[in-house]
Amino acid sequence: MRAPYGLYILDNCLTCPVREEHLFCNLSVQAGQRLNEIKSTAVYPKGAMLFIEGQQPRGVFVLCAGKAKLSTSSREGKTIITKLSESGDVLGLNAVVSNRPYEVTAEMMEPGQANFIPRESLLQFLKDNGEVALRVAQQLSLNYYTAYEEIRTLGLTSSPSEKFAKLLLSWSTKSPQSDGSSQVKLTLTHEEIAEIIGTTRETVSRLFSDFKKKQLLQLKGSTLVIRNRPALEKIVQS
């Protein structure tokens, strides 16, 4: 079914053509049918807020298409992006299971589709399906270790260049080329990259310039070419 923004709405989890090993993908037929009954599907424009930090948890969003950024802010207005979510990710799970306010804000980075599952329906779904409850427990554990690594990167990494190199390395694993380089579509602004690695926009601009001079990366329009992974690893290890 066609929708605005050129998206194709995926309204049936059982017949979804892009089913992968995500939390609510490849369930048993019975669980998949129940999931179809309790979810509602919507298309969101770029900039749409799925939920806001501090808001009471009304449910989870299963991202089917598009990307979203999760961020947290201080009282002084400083923002840190904690994660860039992609298709298959379940947003708001920690808050919904613990019945605590959403710890982050979820904002669409591009037009996309998300399925919403109300909190009470999700909890009953987990009670009725041990298979899904186990997957949720595994996902919550993974979320913990991911948060731990983020704290280590922000708190123990000594320099912005090391943090930037580590970010580039994480991107390089997604699209390796035969010559050892990687190409990534850069949809983030310098300000957003600064919010990921905990620095300023000016510092990120300087890092891009320095890394280009050292031939560690190259920009071709909106495409970022990561050219020298061993050199980036050396920066991180140092």
Q: Which residue has the higher pLDDT, 28 or 212?
A: 212
Q: Which residue has the higher pLDDT, 57 or 154?
A: 57
Residue 87 pLDDT level (bands cut at 50, 70, 90) = confident
pLDDT at 21 over 70: no
Residue-level pLDDT at 217: 92
Residue-level pLDDT at 202: 96
CA 81 → CA 10, 107, 147, 227, distances in Å?
28, 11, 12, 25
**Across residues 27-47, what is the average pLDDT?**
90
Residue 13 pLDDT level (bands cut at 50, 70, 90) = low
Residue 146 pLDDT level (bands cut at 50, 70, 90) = confident
pLDDT at 166 over 80: yes
CA–CA distance, 50 with 48 (Å, rounded to integer): 6
Contact, 59 vs 92, CB < 8 A?
yes
Alpha helices in 47-129 (DSSP H): 93-98, 119-128
Is the pTM for the entire model greater than 0.85?
A: no
**157 φ, ψ (degrees, to nearest 5):** -70, 130
Residue-level pLDDT at 77: 81
Crossing angle of helices 160-172 and 201-213, rounded to 10°: 70
- Closest to 50 measured CA to CA, from 96, 122, 108, 95: 108
pLDDT at 59 over 90: yes
Residue-level pLDDT at 8: 67
**Domains by residue range for the chain, with CATH:** 4-155 (2.60.120.10), 160-237 (1.10.10.10)
CA–CA distance, 143 with 101 (Å, rounded to integer): 16
Residue with the two structure tokens 């090391």: 162
pLDDT at 178 over 70: no
CA–CA distance, 175 with 222 (Å, rounded to integer): 15
pLDDT at 15 over 80: no
Q: What is the CA radius of gyration of the chain?
A: 19
